[in-house]
Structure 1
């Protein structure tokens, strides 16, 4: 009798485990393209974060290094403070929702960056003002579609096509993103203009554990039509879910920072 009960328990547990595995598999298969993009975006942003970064601007005949600190809260707020090089130390960039400002301490001047300048180079790099402040939410401002799955650098990936809504303040005509099935890590992005010509390739690598998550810690932006040009952005430090109030992302606070 005891053997019978023991056998029944083992059978019951086996069936339960199988059902859980099947449920997990079905749940994974039912993820929409938007779900995948949202998970990847949440992984890289969290509800808030603080980071210290080094940027290498690489050209055929010279290389330039910038170092800066950045604070971000959701999609609406970000603040960047330049620490190096010395001649540009203290420059600050603030994003509040759809608006962006640049404070230049050398002339004690606050400059509001208009939408027409969002595609301009940031600090002479291959990143634009729009790239820096993430003015367009990849979750809310785009329609998403899973084009296919393929292997990239050993990772099984979803290839997601993102097309901006007609009324979205977005500079790209289309974005393709490679996101790993395991961990929802973004490994590559391709940025296309409105005529669907490829403009920039972005490679995300040097994947590391950074406390509570595993993320790429280096981004490299490569303009496809400029040989020898690229910009590499490396996280020296990053911390997620920091305590930061909305008031921190104010023009007054930005001017007072040291």
Structure 2
């Protein structure tokens, strides 16, 4: 998945002798991409959407599996009853010239729908995440520029600007990412619209080492203009569990 790793879901620590001239923005992105050394992963998640004082809660299961440089992901909604059985399947490709595939299964209609083009810019289940946020972004999907080095919430971070090479395929003119220097995980992302205005922020937390892999377990995304905030809390995270290939086939969606 291209996960804001909407995870979508990022170990080596370099000596910090000053960032200028030592690391590039692309170097930081490569370090982030190398954090998850697993072959596959599984987790449960609670997504709580708070919009204009009204709350919606959804429970889901999320699975990912790597196929060489490519990756497939499946999200299945469990609760409440009105979304139970809805599934999102993503196939993400390292080749930046190949469009990633995304499908959604709607059990009420027994229908599998492909999500492409402008559909990926739409809201993910009425949350502050977009459909594109649940896909895995490859390093070469973006141009990267190291802006500065600074602390965020008491943690030393690199601040990297990421600009999508294919602007027509995204909501965002750019993303600015605060990356921890110790674990190469994101701490904060600012999202900018096509007019260059920041309109959304995501804050990451709940950092844990699981089976030797540093992992974030919480994301809070906020869109102030919409008076909307979404909490994504991950639980029961596990790696290298031997997930079946059949789980990530289109034919599995209607079973």
TM-score in terms of structure 2 length: 0.81
- 38-47 vs 175-184, which deviates more? 38-47
Q: Deviations over 1:141-193 (max 9, x none)?
A: 00111100001111111000111114773332101000011111210001112
Q: Deviations over 1:10-51 (max 9, x none)?
A: xxxxxxxxxxxxx9678x974432221222233358443211
- Uncovered stretches (5+) of structure 2, i.e. residues with no partner: 1-13, 93-99
Match of 1:239 in 2: 238
TM-superposed deviation, 1:113: 1.6
Secondary structure in 1 matching 2:132: helix
Match of 1:113 in 2: 115
Number of paired residues?
A: 230
Query: 2 CA distance for matches of 1:64 and 1:196?
Result: 30
Query: 2 CA distance for matches of 1:88 and 1:242?
Result: 27
Q: Counterparts in 2 of 1:120-135, with a 5 A limit?
A: 120-134=122-136
Name the structure where strand makes up a greater proportion of residues.
2
Query: 2 CA distance for matches of 1:166 and 1:90?
Result: 32
Gap change, CA 1:44 and 1:170, over 3 Å in 2: farther
- Uncovered stretches (5+) of structure 1, i.e. residues with no partner: 1-22
- 205-214 vs 184-193, which deviates more? 205-214
- Whether the 8 Å contact between 1:198 and 1:224 is mirrored in structure 2 is no
- Whether the 8 Å contact between 1:57 and 1:63 is mirrored in structure 2 is yes
- Whether the 8 Å contact between 1:117 and 1:129 is mirrored in structure 2 is yes
Query: 2 CA distance for matches of 1:232 and 1:166?
Result: 28
Q: Deviations over 1:180-227 (max 9, x none)?
A: 111112100011122211121000012223332333211010013223
- Whether the 8 Å contact between 2:161 and 2:174 is mirrored in structure 1 is yes
Task: Verify: 1:59 aligned to 2:58, yes or no.
Answer: no
Query: Higher RCO, 1 or 2 (CA under 8 Å, sep at least 6)?
Result: 2
Task: Verify: 1:37 aligned to 2:36, yes or no.
Answer: no
**Out of 68, 72, 80, which is 2:60 matched to?**
68
**Out of 76, 80, 83, which is 1:81 matched to?**
76
Secondary structure in 1 matching 2:172: coil
Match of 2:8 in 1: none
Gap change, CA 1:237 and 1:153, over 3 Å in 2: same
Query: 2 CA distance for matches of 1:138 and 1:198?
Result: 23
Query: 1 CA distance for matches of 2:198 and 2:37?
Result: 26
Query: 2 CA distance for matches of 1:25 and 1:63?
Result: 43
Which of 1 and 2 has greater Rg? 1
Q: CA RMSD in A?
A: 2.3
Query: 2 CA distance for matches of 1:70 and 1:225?
Result: 29
TM-score in terms of structure 1 length: 0.81
Query: 2 CA distance for matches of 1:162 and 1:131?
Result: 14
Secondary structure in 1 matching 2:216: strand
